[in-house]
Structure 1
Amino acid sequence: MTAPTARARPRSSAELIRAESTALAHNYHPLPVVVSHAEGVWVRDVEGRRYLDMLAGYSALNFGHRHPALVEAAHRQLDQLTLTSRAFHNDRLAGFAENLAALTGFAMTLPMNTGAEAVESGIKVARKWAYDVKGVAPDRATIVVAADNFHGRTTTVVGFSTDPVAREGFGPFAPGFRVVPYNDLPALREAVDETTAAVLLEPVQGEAGVIIPDEGYLAGVRAVTRDAGALFIADEIQSGLGRTGTTLAVEHERVVPDMVLLGKALGGGIVPVSAVVAGRDVLGVLGPGQHGSTFGGNPLAAAVGTAVTELLRTGEFQRRAAELGRVLDAGLTALTGRGVLAHRCRGLWAGVDIDPALGTGREISERLMSEGVLVKDTHGSTIRLAPPLTITRDELVWALDRLAAVLSA
């Protein structure tokens, strides 16, 4: 008789981190926490320690970890159909597109998977539109983008990044992009000409440190693009779907772009789902075979994405983000001069500039981790706060108290 195989002993956080360093490419530098379970706004590591998640997967977890409605939608779809490819129709995709149109006000959807794919797709559509509709000479279309942008990690996108870490060692890069300072309308006007297919901007620059433009900037961008006969593309992959207190961040200025890029929260933290949404006059330029994705619009993604739109349909999460955003803003204002140099807050999303004398952003993040709060640094001594929109007021205040304790230690 064969002796029973002993169950492997669960590995500790330190052991798992060491194993990752050997087996994985070192393209990330995570905080030294190994999450094994999560629910709502709380996560637990392999040793059982609990942490309040104040990052929410860079807004991919706007509805918290394992939201019951999203998990139920995924489970139900797993029992029926997960993938057909777009070679065939599936019974979930039409409803997803209809719901997204009702939520955003844009008639057509181009479903993709990741945020970077949505950006690449938006660029392709804008160029095709420029040639077919605007009449730009072949291969002469340009797209104007903003400095300090973050639109993804593909070679096209990093080619117009101004972050040397993102760019260096990955060239040569695709031509056709003009970079202007963010929040600078005169520079934008100067860059736009008859070859401009589109202006591509984040309504709030997330990776740069939650940079909020001046009031009137987005409306000015809309006016410049309209006058030039160019498209305005809003990258709402992080800022959209409730994060800033409105369904889309452009709503703060009552601006309607020609195209919106969505992702992250659209998949509910369960599956990668992204989308380009626009009017028929824009997305209608695509014909069969000109763009595609094997997994884009798959039934599982469509089922979860539909459930996400249902959660947002009532406006509850948008209202929560706006109301709790005021609590977040007030809490950070109270810490100004007590370790916080400045902060920028829009809805439940904040960039917090810590006094460099107290530590780098990474060091502050590690100290907060030891207090049971997970955040992520960005450049220098700036940290980002973006909790799930399901967080309670008491939980948010507790996190701010932990930040105060770290800054005063």
Structure 2
Amino acid sequence: MTAPARARGSQELIRAEEPVLAHNYHPLPVVVARAEGAWVEDIEGRRYLDMLAGYSALNFGHRHPALVDAAHRQLDRLTLTSRAFHHDRLAGFAERLAALTGTDMVLPMNTGAEAVESGIKVARKWAYDVKGVPADRATIVVAADNFHGRTTTIVGFSTDETARAGFGPFTPGFRVVPYNDLAALEEAVDETTAAVLIEPIQGEAGVLIPDDGYLAGVRELTRRAGCLFVADEIQSGLGRTGRTLAVEHEPVVPDVVLLGKALGGGIVPVSAVVGSRGVLGVLRPGEHGSTFGGNPLAAAVGTAVVELLETGEFQRRAAELGTVLREGLAALVGRGVVGFRARGLWAGVDVDPALGSGREISERLMREGVLVKDTHGSTIRLAPPLTVTGEELRGALGTLEKVLTS
């Protein structure tokens, strides 16, 4: 018998994972046991400020009272029916999510990757049924350095060899162009193009923000070409950038938006494909489904998330505290930071490689009580919960300064 977790130290628990867990992650050496708001605590009682927020899944912080209450109340009533039957939470969730995003229809799913896969299926079906693309010839244009998930279809159009290598053969029908390059995009689009699928901000690539006008250019190009604009807002959406959706920083309305992560409030996996009736309306019974998609517990938590966003409070907090974040990072340029990109409470920070890799910087920050995550090279990502206070945010920036200049 193994010892109970409470009687084992962090290093012992980490070593215990090695023989039994597949090594598809390389986590920082911290073992989290409890959390609330923007703070987590490890099994030995040390506290850390969470500046990653579950890759934006925890936009509302850990265990937000309204979300926990919604989950508790639903757990006492009904958790799952499957879509073989109706249940009393789904229609309300779909109506409010559609209203929040300014769309007509909602296709509820579970994970972000599942939302992307669903979006791909919808775009292809629309291309055949509405646009008139010949059978099995539909193409989708995507951007280099994208991150849309890790299913075999999705990694097939990734340009990250770590994600791709060893997992072929891959699904055909995708064309990859440079991100933030309208000329390349226009050249790739033709009569077979069902959709252009892009992230309004590329998170995994280091929080890459396109030039002003790029998203509007994508919208105009797809409109002229008669294909769909599908925006992957799984990380960037639901308040993270200071707007409900990141595309709202330009006067842009995509045909389809993919949502996930924060939609589940950090409690259950919830994702959705939302869009116009003319697009999502192509699906017929039996053509797509998910046993857990739109389940009562997910719908209850998702509705509570929408209620939080309907007030605009979290969007305003992200915008206001985003100024604090940008100003704090600007003060570190030349003092260990060689560059950064930030929008709302989301930033990619490029550290002087001479000071260490992104992983090494993340480990030093962890030892000082701040949790972040590295991405490629010497870049780290900052994405605190939208519940973080100005004081907490300034404290984290002060810790980053200490790590970089000590």
Same fold (TM over 0.5): yes
State the match for 2:247 in structure 1. 250
Alpha-carbon displacement from aligned partner over 1:118-155 (angstroms, at most 9, x marks no partner):
00000000000000000000000000000000000000
Q: Map of 1:324-403 to 2, 5 A cutoff?
A: 324-403=321-400
Distance 1:217 1:237 in 2: 19
Aligned residue among 295, 298, 303 for 2:300: 303
Conservation of the 8 A alpha-carbon contact between 2:5 and 2:13: no
Aligned length, in residue pairs: 404
Which amino acid is 2:199 matched to?
E
1:8 Cα shift? 7.9
Aligned residue among 201, 206, 210 for 1:213: 210
Conservation of the 8 A alpha-carbon contact between 2:365 and 2:399: yes
SS of the residue aligned with 1:317?
Answer: helix
Aligned residue among 220, 234, 238 for 2:235: 238
Gaps of 5+ in 2: none
Distance 2:303 2:356 in 1: 43
Conservation of the 8 A alpha-carbon contact between 2:6 and 2:43: no
Distance 2:251 2:383 in 1: 23
Which amino acid is 1:154 matched to?
T
Alpha-carbon displacement from aligned partner over 1:239-291 (angstroms, at most 9, x marks no partner):
00000000000000120000000000000000000000001100000000000
Which amino acid is 2:44 matched to?
E
Select between 216-225 and 10-19 the one with higher mean Cα deviation.
10-19
SS of the residue aligned with 1:110?
Answer: strand
Q: 1:27 to 1:101 in 2, by over 3 A?
A: same
Q: What TM-score do you get using the length of structure 1 for normalisation?
A: 0.98
Given the alignment of the two structures, is residue 197 of structure 1 paired with residue 197 of structure 2, yes or no? no
Given the alignment of the two structures, is residue 281 of structure 1 paired with residue 281 of structure 2, yes or no? no
Which amino acid is 1:178 matched to?
R
Which amino acid is 1:195 matched to?
T
1:21 Cα shift? 1.0
SS of the residue aligned with 2:331?
Answer: helix
State the match for 2:63 in structure 1. 66
Distance 2:5 2:295 in 1: 36
Aligned residue among 51, 71, 89 for 1:54: 51
State the match for 1:18 in structure 2. 15
Aligned residue among 28, 33, 38 for 2:25: 28
Alpha-carbon displacement from aligned partner over 1:196-252 (angstroms, at most 9, x marks no partner):
000000000000000000000000000110000000000000000000000000000
Which amino acid is 2:39 matched to?
W
Which amino acid is 1:301 matched to?
A
Distance 1:388 1:223 in 2: 34
Given the alignment of the two structures, is residue 319 of structure 1 paired with residue 316 of structure 2, yes or no? yes
1:362 Cα shift? 0.2
Given the alignment of the two structures, is residue 145 of structure 1 paired with residue 142 of structure 2, yes or no? yes
Q: 1:92 to 1:338 in 2, by over 3 A?
A: same
State the match for 1:135 in structure 2. 132
Distance 1:34 1:137 in 2: 53
1:10 Cα shift? 1.7
Q: What TM-score do you get using the length of structure 2 for normalisation?
A: 0.99
SS of the residue aligned with 1:22?
Answer: coil
Given the alignment of the two structures, is residue 263 of structure 1 paired with residue 260 of structure 2, yes or no? yes
1:9 Cα shift? 6.0
1:369 Cα shift? 0.3
The sequence identity of aligned pairs, in percent, is 83
Alpha-carbon displacement from aligned partner over 1:128-187 (angstroms, at most 9, x marks no partner):
000000000000000000000000000000000000000000000000000000000000
SS of the residue aligned with 1:145?
Answer: strand
SS of the residue aligned with 1:335?
Answer: coil
Distance 2:63 2:96 in 1: 21
SS of the residue aligned with 1:197?
Answer: strand
State the match for 1:224 in structure 2. 221
Distance 1:155 1:210 in 2: 24
1:7 Cα shift? 7.4
Gaps of 5+ in 1: 1-5
Which amino acid is 1:299 matched to?
P
Which amino acid is 1:138 matched to?
A
Given the alignment of the two structures, is residue 184 of structure 1 paired with residue 181 of structure 2, yes or no? yes
Given the alignment of the two structures, is residue 167 of structure 1 paired with residue 164 of structure 2, yes or no? yes
Distance 2:239 2:251 in 1: 15
1:379 Cα shift? 0.1
1:102 Cα shift? 1.1
Given the alignment of the two structures, is residue 118 of structure 1 paired with residue 115 of structure 2, yes or no? yes
Q: 1:133 to 1:11 in 2, by over 3 A?
A: same
Distance 2:305 2:391 in 1: 25
Q: 1:217 to 1:321 in 2, by over 3 A?
A: same
Given the alignment of the two structures, is residue 75 of structure 1 paired with residue 72 of structure 2, yes or no? yes
Alignment RMSD: 0.9
1:11 Cα shift? 1.4
